[in-house]
Amino acid sequence: MFGLTALELARIQFGFTISFHIIFPAITIGLASYLAVLEGLWLWKKDTVYRDLYHFWSKIFAVNFAMGVVSGLVMAYQFGTNWSYFSSFAGSVTGPLLAYEVLTAFFLEAGFLGVMLFGWHRVGPGLHFFATVMVAIGTLISATWILASNSWMQTPQGIEIINDVVVPVNWFEVIFNPSFPYRLAHMVTAAFLATALFVGASGAWHLLKGDNNPRVCKMFSMAMWMLLVVAPLQAFIGDQHGLNTLKHQPAKIAAMEGHWENTPGEGVPLILFAWPDQAAEKNHFEIAIPNLSSLILTHSLDGQFPGLKAFAPEDRPPVAVVFWTFRIMVGLGLLMITLGLWAVWRRWRGTLYEGRWLHRFALVMGPTGLIAILAGWYTTEIGRQPWVIYGVMRTKDAVSDHSALTMSVMLIVFIIAYFFVFGIGTSYMLKLVGKGPEAGEEDPATDNDDPGQSPARPLSAAPDLNKEA
Amino acid sequence: MGIDLPIVWACIIAFGLMMYVIMDGFDLGIGILFPFIKDRTDRDVMVNTVAPVWDGNETWLVLGGAGLMAAFPLAYSVILTALYIPLALMLLGLIWRGVAFEFRFKADEHHKPFWDIAFMGGSIVATFFQGVSLGAFLNGFEVEGVRYMGGAMDWLTPFALFTGLGLLVAYALLGATWLIIKTEGPLHDRLVTLARPLMLVLLAVIAVVSLWTPLAHQQVADRWFTLPNLFFFAPVPGLVALTAFLLLRSLRTGDPGPAPFVLTLFLLFLGYTGLGISMFPYIIPPAITLREAAAPPESMGFALVGALLIIPVILAYTAWSYYVFRGKVRAGDGYH
């Protein structure tokens, strides 16, 4: 298809399916914690606004959770179907980590999700709150296992290679590998940020429609507070993550910066705009601020770090993609900080709920948390190329021996099915958001006659569309 | 450590797959039975009997995938590569069906017939390709060292297509006998009538597979038809015949209750055991054994701790949710 090789098609398929997947868990992680906070505030302050918001967002959480489970099903098999040499070589490390993730997720679903979604009238308020908190913690533990596995592929340690197979000799070192704490912090914060932007945009949508009831105002206000704190925090964590990457994956940093080579005695400029040309080994149309990259990455004006030419051409990642996805992520991050500051200024002036331009901005910023997450993942995953396990196994040695034809056909099938299925799921979720939180919002189990019976499926916690009309 | 990790893990994965076949089997069967039951109310009742439990059932499939990768990475990579196309179609069938399941209830009224067809189609596609994958697995894989050497379409054999159709029959019977427990009135009687021919066809399928595998694979023939194995394994076909007889007899009574479902489960369990006898100790037939495909003990041991702690919890929870939703489901009894 389009002259792409089987390897490229396998990478596109993986990128496509995992990009769809990550959106849902990111919102799941953020919403679970948000719900725990809402319920905690309801129990503490006894203000019904918090209870109504809890019920409203728990329905959206239910749909989102189901989408995450369904899209995750494919991921559990794709490592074997498309990346068989990676799996037979390193499944001994990533397999157990993924197994723990699956077990954690199911433990959580089996134990607490049902109580959280259907148990409002069945168990006491303390126990219900406990269930919500456990679900929130569970999503974080799930993320921990997945990010441990991914980070190990970025900065592998704790292993020996015996008979062409990775043997984990120290699980502590495998899990707590050098990039893991930074990646975990960066991703969890990103999930919180994306959720705050999503909640904020939902609030802004209703404010723009002229619906400024206390529930809408409260959720908009909470989202803006969250943004004010978390967006700058994320910039700091991202910076620390970058320093860690410079230490362990310098070629990735060179590609992110579009930095080809050092000039003796001079600092490295921060390139704002350029078109990196991998073949010519230089940038076109470069606009740069002198010495700023040196200052950010080495904390001195003329500090140097390796340029791309310090690495053999076959060891360099695709520069242009990494360069640009990184800029998209950072650019959106700066806009998020701006939104947080703008909102706090309006709040200080006492006009948080009146500023139409602020609300329009917040609405447009709604999906940017998720876009930034995708851009960030493209930066770190494509920046790791040409390695699948950094310095240990090349991506081209990991891929299964499928033909380009097989891969093309399956890729088309996946694309059609995913857009259809998740398109419908997402539009349903947005319809629920569009309804807005109502006073006396009830949980779905209320209209059930027999309190002993409730379905275990998360999606059934969301209302029927035909009942809403 | 005195534990034989590859065997323990083989048992866990075999148990997980068995759980999957038992539990997702009957709810897939409900979709497969849709062409025979046209009435909308009846269909709603049928779907409602599994509504509270079906997505927990698929848990076992995900667990099977992750467990296989952790414990037998070589088998995970070779088998999944060889079965790429049928497994991908199976997964897409399951996703499709899962979404259709929910939107049957949630969509606008005029979209509902579409979701009915989607639910039926997804169930049939998922089951058929699951059966095809099973058949292709029994046929074995062309392997050189640790590399899969076969082509992308090697799975497409008459035997695999036959097992694909066979599994449709098996799941349809599981679905029908499950519904016999959960329904009443005309729908119930209709299902009892349906179950009889399904049962006979399934018996024929089991017979054909039992003859086809030893005829096609000397290894399988040697396992079954040499002494003293013949004596050890003779009870398996004997029990199949006995179970089938009891099952047919139970279907003659007015309301047979749970007996047909339990007997069908036992029948499938026997079939599963038979396949286990044929395959052991190979995990990538016909060349690579469990032990050869096993992950290093460091990996198996580490993952085993989690599995032993959490699988009992999942089992307990599952049992509890079936207990909560016991009893007949009537029209209008939605969980929605």
Residue A443 confidence (pLDDT) = 55
Instruction: Reply yes or no: is the peptide bond before residue B86 cis, omega within 30 of 0.
Output: no
Q: Provide the token pair at A406.
A: 């097989």
Distance CA(A424)–CA(B309), nearest Å, equals: 37
* Residue A411, min C-alpha distance to chain B (Å): 10
- Determine the average pLDDT of the residues in A86-107: 88
Residue B45 confidence (pLDDT) = 87
- Does A461 or B92 have the greater pLDDT score? B92
Residue A468 confidence (pLDDT) = 40
Instruction: Give residue A444's pLDDT band: very low, low, confident or very high (50, 70, 90).
Output: low
- Does B180 or A113 have the greater pLDDT score? B180
Residues A209-261: pLDDT tens digits?
Answer: 988 899 999 999 999 999 999 999 999 999 999 999 999 999 999 999 888 88
Residues A149-162: pLDDT tens digits?
Answer: 999 999 999 999 98
Q: What percent of chain A has pLDDT over 90?
A: 49
Distance CA(B4)–CA(A407), nearest Å, equals: 39
3-state secondary structure at position A40? helix
Q: Give the list of residues 6+ apart from residue B333 with CB closer than 8 angstroms, or none.
A: B45, B48
Pairing, β A165-168 against β B282-284: unpaired
Instruction: Give residue B320's pLDDT band: very low, low, confident or very high (50, 70, 90).
Output: confident
DSSP at A441: -
Distance CA(B25)–CA(B57), nearest Å, equals: 9
Domain boundaries, chain A: 18-177+402-469
**Which residues of A are less than 8 Å from B61 in CB distance?**
73
Res A78 pLDDT > 90: no
Task: Report yes or no: A450 at the B interface, CB cutoff 8 Å.
Answer: no
Q: With CB atoms and an 8 Å threshold, state whether A406 touches B85.
A: yes
Instruction: Assess contact for A193 and A234: CB atoms under 8 A.
Output: yes
Instruction: Assess contact for B235 and B224: CB atoms under 8 A.
Output: no
3-state secondary structure at position A270? strand
Residues B233-286: pLDDT tens digits?
Answer: 888 888 888 998 898 888 887 778 888 999 999 988 888 888 888 888 888 887
Q: With CB atoms and an 8 Å threshold, state whether B146 touches A88.
A: yes
Residue B110 confidence (pLDDT) = 78
- Does A201 or B50 have the greater pLDDT score? A201
Which whole-number Å values give the CA distances from B322 to A452, B52, B326, in the listed order?
12, 9, 6
Q: Which of B270, B269, B208 is nearest to B233 (CA)?
A: B270
Q: Which of A42, A29, A432 is nearest to A218 (CA)?
A: A42
Res A178 pLDDT > 60: yes
Distance CA(A452)–CA(A178), nearest Å, equals: 49
- Determine the average pLDDT of the residues in B218-233: 80
Q: What percent of chain B has pLDDT over 70?
A: 96
Question: Within 13 Å and on the Cβ side, how many CA atoms surround A2?
Answer: 7
Instruction: Reply yes or no: is the peptide bond before residue B228 cis, omega within 30 of 0.
Output: yes
Residue type, A432: L
Q: Which of B250, B245, B274, B268 is nearest to B260 (CA)?
A: B250
Residues A28-40: pLDDT tens digits?
Answer: 999 999 999 999 9
Instruction: Specify the residue for token string 């409002």.
Output: A120
Q: Is the dihedral of CA B293, B297, B303, B309 positive or negative?
A: positive
* Residue B297, min C-alpha distance to chain A (Å): 9
Residue A120 confidence (pLDDT) = 81
Res A301 pLDDT > 90: no
Instruction: Give residue A451's pLDDT band: very low, low, confident or very high (50, 70, 90).
Output: very low
Instruction: Give residue A384's pLDDT band: very low, low, confident or very high (50, 70, 90).
Output: very high
Which whole-number Å values give the CA distances from A419 to A412, A423, A427, B83, in the listed order?
11, 5, 11, 24
**Which residues of A are less than 8 Å from B302 in CB distance?**
96, 168, 171
Question: Within 13 Å and on the Cβ side, how many CA atoms surround A79?
Answer: 29
Task: Tell me which of A54-58, A434-438, A460-464, B208-212 is least confident.
Answer: A460-464
Question: Within 13 Å and on the Cβ side, how many CA atoms surround A123?
Answer: 14
Q: With CB atoms and an 8 Å threshold, state whether A95 touches B298.
A: no
Q: Cβ–Cβ contacts within 10 Å for residue A306, how many?
A: 15
Closest in B81, B298, B325 to A80, CB measured: B81
Ramachandran bin of A312, using left for φ above 0, alpha for ψ from -120 to 50, beta for the remaining angles: beta
User: DSSP string covering A303-362, please?
Assistant: -----GGGS-GGG---HHHHHHHHHHHHHHHHHHHHHHHHHHHHHHHT-TTT-HHHHHHH
3-state secondary structure at position A289? strand
Q: Which of residues 138-177 of A touch B (CB under 8 A)?
A: 162, 165, 167-169, 171
- Determine the average pLDDT of the residues in A271-291: 87
Which whole-number Å values give the CA distances from B335 to A69, A128, A153, A187, A453, in the listed order?
21, 21, 44, 36, 8
**Which residues of A are less than 8 Å from B86 in CB distance?**
none
3-state secondary structure at position A166? strand
Res A445 pLDDT > 60: no
Distance CA(A149)–CA(A159), nearest Å, equals: 13
Instruction: Give residue A448's pLDDT band: very low, low, confident or very high (50, 70, 90).
Output: very low
Q: Which of residues 67-126 of A touch B (CB under 8 A)?
A: 69-74, 76-77, 79-96, 98-104, 106-107, 109-111, 114
Ramachandran bin of A166, using left for φ above 0, alpha for ψ from -120 to 50, beta for the remaining angles: beta
Residue A449 confidence (pLDDT) = 41
This prediction's pTM: 0.89
DSSP H helical segments within B280-296, as ranges? 290-293
- Determine the average pLDDT of the residues in A130-158: 92
Which whole-number Å values give the CA distances from A348 to A214, A353, B175, in the listed order?
18, 12, 63
**Which residues of A are less than 8 Å from B89 in CB distance?**
413
Instruction: Give residue B2's pLDDT band: very low, low, confident or very high (50, 70, 90).
Output: low
Instruction: Assess contact for B78 and A81: CB atoms under 8 A.
Output: no
Q: With CB atoms and an 8 Å threshold, state whether A111 touches B91.
A: no
